[in-house]
Amino acid sequence: MVHIDQKTHTTEDGTNVIVLKPIGRLDITTAWPFRLKLQECISQLRRHVVVNLSQVDFIDSSGLTSLVAGMRDADKIKGSFRICSVHPDAKLVFEVTMMDTVFEIFETEEEALDGLSSSIVT
């Protein structure tokens, strides 16, 4: 089971953003519980999600699949899905698979949250 820190951030215009910070590995054993957590958050009308990967030192195709599923779920309800603070050991996986061109990836959590309200179309 993956441990996931969760908090809610409210932007200046009052938009609620859920910030999830998984800790450990996002692999075949933890990807499904993580995906369920993403679905739960998005289905609770938290259309906007930031996933902080600073504490994920390993990610495999299962982990990437769970992130893609979260992005698609957010897109379906016209939300946003951003990734930030990718651990250096996991960054290579994003680059090799070219997923770094698929996701909105930010260097820091603050950057991912900054300007989010201005980019949200309601």
- Per-residue pLDDT tens for 54-71? 999 999 999 999 999 999
Inter-residue contact 80 to 41 (CB < 8 Å): no
Within a domain: residue 119? no
pLDDT number for residue 120: 45
Q: For position 110, what pLDDT does the model report?
A: 93
| Residue 97, CA distances (Å) to 52, 60, 65, 102 in order | 19, 10, 12, 10
The residue-averaged pLDDT of 103-117 equals 89
pTM tops 0.85, yes or no? yes
Q: What's 63's domain CATH number?
A: 3.30.750.24
User: To the nearest whole number, what is the mean pLDDT of the chain?
Assistant: 90
Residue 121 pLDDT class (50, 70, 90 cuts): very low
User: What domain range includes position 62?
Assistant: 19-113
User: Looking at the 3D structure of the chain, how many domains does it have?
Assistant: 1
Model pLDDT, residue 69: 96
pLDDT, greater one: 15 or 27 = 27
Q: Does residue 86 lie within any of the structural domains? A: yes
What pLDDT shows up at residue 45?
Answer: 64
